[in-house]
Amino acid sequence: MTTSVFFQHTVVNVAIGGLTSLFVLVTVISSFVFPTPPPTALNIFFVVCIIMICSSVLVLIFWYRQGDLDPKFRGLIYYSIGLIILLCLCANLYFHDVGR
């Protein structure tokens, strides 16, 4: 793998990771703040589920970077990250009562 291709993969990975981290952070903060403090139990449960999914994806990323996973699992990692973003979007829509 040439240096430019490696750099491109690194930039893509950092961008996707940063975007996902931002979505998860906003979701965690929103669960405690909206609709009004103190948070409801359902909001906390929703965020705990998102964090548990994130932890399993982080383990997959760690194993992938160690070389323990085949490169074909990169697609599964990206798919899981996409699902985390969609789940955070759904959670934020629920927390902010959009659609009522």
Render pLDDT for 20-65 as a digit per residue (tens, 0 to 9).
999 999 999 999 998 777 888 999 999 999 999 999 999 999 999 8
Residue type, 78: Y
Domain boundaries, the chain: 38-100
The beta strands (E) that lie in the chain are given as none
Residue 1 has pLDDT above 70, yes or no: no
How far is the C-alpha of 12 from the C-alpha of 17, rounded, in Å?
A: 8
User: What are the φ/ψ torsions at residue 39 (nearest 5 degrees)?
Assistant: -70, 155
* pTM recorded for the entire structure: 0.88
- pLDDT, position 49: 95
Q: How far is CA 35 from CA 45, 78, 84, in A?
A: 15, 31, 22
Interval 58-86 mean pLDDT: 92
Helix (H) or strand (E) holding 65: helix 41-66
